[in-house]
Amino acid sequence: MKNTLFFILLFISVFGIKAQEGFLIRNVSLISMEEDTIVANSDVLISNGRIKQIGKGLQTDGSKVMIIDGTNKYLMPGLADMHLHLWGDSTALRLYIANGVTSIKSMSGKPEYLKWKEQIQSGNRLGPQLYVSGPLMNDISFLQRYVPLPVKFIFFWFHILVFSIIIYTILRIVFRKKIKNHPKRLLIELGLPLMILLIVYVIEYCFVPSIQVAAEGEVCVFSRDWEVRKLVSKQKEIGYNSIKPYTSMRRSQFVTLLDEANRQKISVVGHIPSRVSVDDVIKHKMTGIAHVEELRYHFYNGYDFSGNAIPFDIIDTTGLDNITKRLQKAGIFVTSAIVVCKDYIDRQKNDSNFFSKPEFKYVPTKTLELYKKQGFLTKEQYPEKEYWLLVTMLKSYHKNGVMIVLGTDSQWKNDVHGFTVHEELQLLVDNGFSNYEALEASTKNAAISVNAIKDWGTIKEGKRADLLLLDKNPLENINNTRAIAGLCLNGKWFDRTSLDRILVDLMDYQIKNDREISPSK
């Protein structure tokens, strides 16, 4: 309740002051992202949340139109982060806005986020445009970590035994006379329970789902293919934007998932399960791959990947270009998610320096304690060679023209939502992307990845007014995306003071409401 009240007050304080019918950004250097050029001295007129007109020397008739001076400033589409995890904490939404990010995608969903999405759309919650993937889809073996094997065994057989005993008892009472006098009594006495057991087993296997946590959690598990089909339709019905296969899925489950998703016309963006080949990904038409590093399993050459030991000595990347060329041909996009791995390396190099970044003040102290304890991977758990392999894959994708979509995989672990978007942009440039290509990953490509390029992603008349005004040119130095002078979010204007106030209020809130936000909670 306190939480809600705080955000309502914040919402009023931010939107209350700047409410107007429209505004005109005048004399700005326009980076529309429609093409790799800057158009100097442009005017952009915003009305009713849309880009109404782009031109030079535009005149406005109404006094209700606010004028924003864009002299010596640069206007580009708002940024996007298409891979992140919220883990139930909505404060992340504010961090994105303060960082010039106008569209995000939660890559593990639960119904609560769909409510947030609705509230954002209707103007009752402050946040970027929110896309939500369904919960992680995984084989039941994924639960091994949480649920010991004997428990799962009992869970499965418990139904069968209880139902069998009930049915047998009923039959035994109803037909007691007939059984007593039957010449083959012994056969019936022994055979009946076995038969019932078999029938109940078949019914259980074909109709009773495995343990599923789809409704509440951000993970759902299953063991049979038919459950996968049901879950895909259910997730489409609930309103998720895509389905997310996860690492432990069996091949038949993965193929079923893609088959059902294609039938239901819902996209599939997620992991390539370690037991699935790239051939399956292409043949069964996966829409997008959730991280650049997904291809790693395919370089272990028959190695049974246990999830722990990484056998770098047997990695052979000879076939990499071939694979990325085929993915490009199949039109499958890849979300970057580099910064999350770079963080492991940075922490190994200098752990105390890592936490000196100013943005950590927006993380609740208790959560920060968790970061320090849980977010560190040793050199054995995450060797530098693993990062080298990741970068090698990124370069191959880039070289062969695979569409890269910016995602950070931020998830309250080592990262501060929103700030990581600028780090990810920098990492793309560090690894061979031009500044324009990096920006494309976070604007145009992001919109294409959710089939929304007609609505946002570039600055064009008629599109959503999601615009980022910068003091410095991001095409000159990618770091300049941090020099934010103002933000237009769906037609609402936030000047620098408003953005700063979001950050200050958020910091106060985090200090007052110190709590643990964590994937494992």
Chain positions contacting Zn ion, by CB under 5 A:
107, 409
CB of 445 to Zn ion, least distance (A): 18
Report the residue number, 435 or 449, with the smaller CB distance to Zn ion.
449
Report the residue number, 43 or 409, with the smaller CB distance to Zn ion.
409
How far is residue 37 from each of residues 32, 159, 425, 435, 472, measured CA to CA in Å? 8, 66, 19, 12, 15
Positive or negative, the CA dihedral 341, 347, 348, 353 is positive
Q: Of 93, 92, 106, 24, give the one whose Cα is nearest residue 60.
A: 24
Cα 428 from Cα 406, distance rounded (Å)? 9
CB of 291 to Zn ion, least distance (A): 7
CB of 404 to Zn ion, least distance (A): 16
Report the residue number, 25 or 136, with the smaller CB distance to Zn ion.
136
CB of 383 to Zn ion, least distance (A): 21
CB of 113 to Zn ion, least distance (A): 14
What are residue 509's phi and psi, to 5 degrees? -60, -45
CB of 348 to Zn ion, least distance (A): 21
Torsion angle (degrees, nearest 10) of CA 385, 391, 392, 397: 150
Closest residue to Zn ion in the complex (CB)? 409
CB of 417 to Zn ion, least distance (A): 13
CB of 270 to Zn ion, least distance (A): 9
Report the residue number, 89 or 505, with the smaller CB distance to Zn ion.
89
277 three-state secondary structure: coil
How far is residue 386 from each of residues 83, 288, 313, 380, measured CA to CA in Å? 20, 22, 11, 10
Report the residue number, 409 or 466, with the smaller CB distance to Zn ion.
409
Cα 327 from Cα 285, distance rounded (Å)? 10
Report the residue number, 270 or 474, with the smaller CB distance to Zn ion.
270
135 three-state secondary structure: strand
For residue 69 the two structure tokens come to 């001076």
Q: How many CB atoms lie within 10 A of CB 136?
A: 25
Q: Of 463, 430, 402, give the one whose Cα is nearest residue 103.
A: 463
232 three-state secondary structure: helix
Report the residue number, 107 or 269, with the smaller CB distance to Zn ion.
107
Residues sharing a CB contact under 8 Å with residue 127, sequence separation 6 or more, in sequence order = 90, 93, 94, 96, 97, 116, 119, 120
Report the residue number, 133 or 435, with the smaller CB distance to Zn ion.
133
